[in-house]
C-alpha cells in the first residue's frame, strides 16, 4: 500500500509539473504574441520638482493588457520576459512608444509637457549588439531631442562588468541621452563604480523612504545620498513618496526631484494629461 501510495504521489507530482510546464509555455507564447498584437501599454508616472510641485519628467512603466487576465503589472510578466529574452523586444517597444508619446506632448503643449522621459532597460539589453542603434532609431524616428531621454539601469546591472558597461554607456551618451541608476542603494555596490561609469541621474530606492519619518539615522542617510549626488553634479530623484510628511521632510533634507503615489501614480498619457489640465498644481 505504501508503495502504491508513493507511486500515486509521484504521478500527481509529475502531472502537476507537466501542467506547470504547459502553462509556462502557453504564457510564454502569449507574451511573445502580446508585443506583436499591440497588447502592451505605456503608463507614465510623474517626476516632480518638489520646490514648485511642477511636473518635470515622467517614467515609462510597462503594462500588459492581457485579453484573458486583464491589465498586468510588470511584476507579473517581466521575470518571464527576462528568462526568455523577450524583454529586449518589450524594452525596444517601450522606448519608441515613450519617445513618441512625450514628443507629441511637447509639440502640442510645450508649457505643460515633461522635460524628460525615462525608460527602464533590463540587463539583457547590454548584450544587444545594436543597442545604441536602437536608441538612435527611437530618437530619429520620433524626433525627440536626445537630452529628453533617460535610460534607467539598476546598480546590479551596471556593476556586472564595469569596463564593458562603461564603454556601452559612453557610446549611448555620445548620442546625447542620459543614464540613470535605478533603485540606487539597494545593490551590493561599492561606490567605486560612480567613478568609472558615466551617470547623470541617481534614483534613490523607495526602501529608503519607508520609515523615514521619525528615524534620524535614515534621514541622515538620505541627506548624505542627496549630497553625494549633488556634489558629483548629478540629478537625484527620490522614489516612493506616499505621504505629505515624507515629502516635507525630504525637502528639508535637500531633495529636489521626487516620484511616488503621493505625487502621482503611473497612468496612461491621456488621463495624466487631462488631470494636469484640470487640476492646478497644489
Q: Interface residues with ligand C2E (CB under 6 A)? A: 45, 61-62, 73-75, 78, 87, 90-91, 94, 120-122, 152, 182-183, 206, 240-242, 259-261, 266
- Distance CA(86)–CA(80), nearest Å, equals 8
Q: Residue 155, interface with Mg ion (CB under 5 A)?
A: no
Please state the closest distance from residue 159 (CB atom) to Mg ion, in A.
Answer: 16
Cβ–Cβ < 8 Å for 260, 239: yes
Which partner, Mg ion, ligand C2E, none, binds residue 75 by CB below 5 to 8 Å per kind? ligand C2E
Closest to ligand C2E by CB, 132 vs 205, is 205
Q: Residue 91, interface with Mg ion (CB under 5 A)?
A: no
Please state the closest distance from residue 182 (CB atom) to Mg ion, in A.
Answer: 4
- Distance CA(114)–CA(106), nearest Å, equals 7
Would strands 178-184 and 40-49 be described as parallel, antiparallel, or unpaired? unpaired
Q: How many helices (H) and strands (E) does the chain have?
A: 10, 9
Single out the residue of 91, 97, 155, 183 in contact with Mg ion (rule: CB under 5 A).
183
For residue 258, how many C-alpha atoms fall within 13 Å in the half-sphere facing its CB?
29
Which partner, Mg ion, ligand C2E, none, binds residue 87 by CB below 5 to 8 Å per kind? ligand C2E
For 253, the 3-state DSSP assignment is coil
Which partner, Mg ion, ligand C2E, none, binds residue 62 by CB below 5 to 8 Å per kind? ligand C2E
- Distance CA(137)–CA(134), nearest Å, equals 5
Please state the closest distance from residue 58 (CB atom) to Mg ion, in A.
Answer: 11
- In the region spanning residues 198 to 257, those forming contacts with Mg ion, defined by CB under 5 A, are 203
| Cell numbers for 176 | 546625447
Closest to ligand C2E by CB, 132 vs 259, is 259
Which partner, ligand C2E, Mg ion, none, binds residue 31 by CB below 5 to 8 Å per kind? none
| DSSP track, 186-245 | SS---TTHHHHS---EEEE-GGGTTT-TT-HHHHHHHHHHHHHHHHTT-EEEEE---SHH
User: What phi and psi, each to the nearest 5 degrees, are found at residue 72?
Assistant: -105, 135
Please state the closest distance from residue 95 (CB atom) to ligand C2E, in A.
Answer: 8
| Cell numbers for 236 | 537625484
Closest to Mg ion by CB, 21 vs 94, is 94
Which partner, ligand C2E, Mg ion, none, binds residue 73 by CB below 5 to 8 Å per kind? ligand C2E
Give the interface with Mg ion as residue ranges (CB under 5 A).
120, 152, 182-183, 203
Amino acid at each position: 500500500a505504501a508503495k502504491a501510495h508513493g507511486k500515486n504521489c509521484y504521478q500527481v507530482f509529475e502531472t502537476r509539473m507537466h501542467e506547470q510546464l504547459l502553462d509556462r509555455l502557453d504564457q510564454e507564447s502569449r507574451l511573445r504574441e502580446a508585443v506583436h498584437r499591440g497588447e502592451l501599454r505605456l503608463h507614465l508616472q510623474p517626476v516632480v520638482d518638489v520646490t514648485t510641485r511642477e511636473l518635470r519628467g515622467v517614467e515609462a512603466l510597462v503594462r500588459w493588457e492581457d485579453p484573458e487576465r486583464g491589465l498586468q503589472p510588470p511584476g507579473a510578466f517581466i521575470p518571464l520576459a527576462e528568462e526568455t529574452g523577450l524583454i529586449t523586444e518589450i524594452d525596444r517597444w517601450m522606448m519608441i512608444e515613450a519617445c513618441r508619446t512625450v514628443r507629441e506632448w511637447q509639440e502640442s503643449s510645450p508649457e505643460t509637457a515633461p522635460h524628460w522621459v525615462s525608460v527602464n532597460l533590463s540587463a539583457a539589453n547590454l548584450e544587444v549588439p545594436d543597442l545604441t542603434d536602437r536608441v538612435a532609431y527611437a530618437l530619429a524616428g520620433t524626433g525627440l531631442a536626445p537630452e529628453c531621454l533617460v535610460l534607467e539601469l539598476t546598480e546590479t546591472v551596471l556593476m556586472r562588468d564595469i569596463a564593458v558597461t562603461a564603454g556601452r554607456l559612453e557610446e549611448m551618451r555620445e548620442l546625447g541621452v542620459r543614464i540613470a541608476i535605478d533603485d540606487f542603494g539597494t545593490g551590493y555596490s561599492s561606490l567605486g563604480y560612480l567613478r568609472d561609469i558615466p551617470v547623470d541621474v541617481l534614483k534613490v530606492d523607495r526602501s529608503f523612504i519607508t520609515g523615514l519619518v521619525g528615524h534620524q539615522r535614515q534621514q541622515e542617510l538620505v541627506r548624505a545620498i542627496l549630497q553625494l549626488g549633488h556634489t558629483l553634479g548629478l540629478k537625484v530623484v527620490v522614489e516612493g513618496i506616499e505621504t505629505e510628511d515624507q515629502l516635507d521632510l525630504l525637502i528639508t533634507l535637500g531633495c529636489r526631484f521626487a516620484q511616488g503615489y503621493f505625487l502621482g501614480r503611473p497612468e496612461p498619457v491621456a488621463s495624466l494629461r487631462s488631470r494636469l489640465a484640470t487640476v492646478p498644481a497644489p
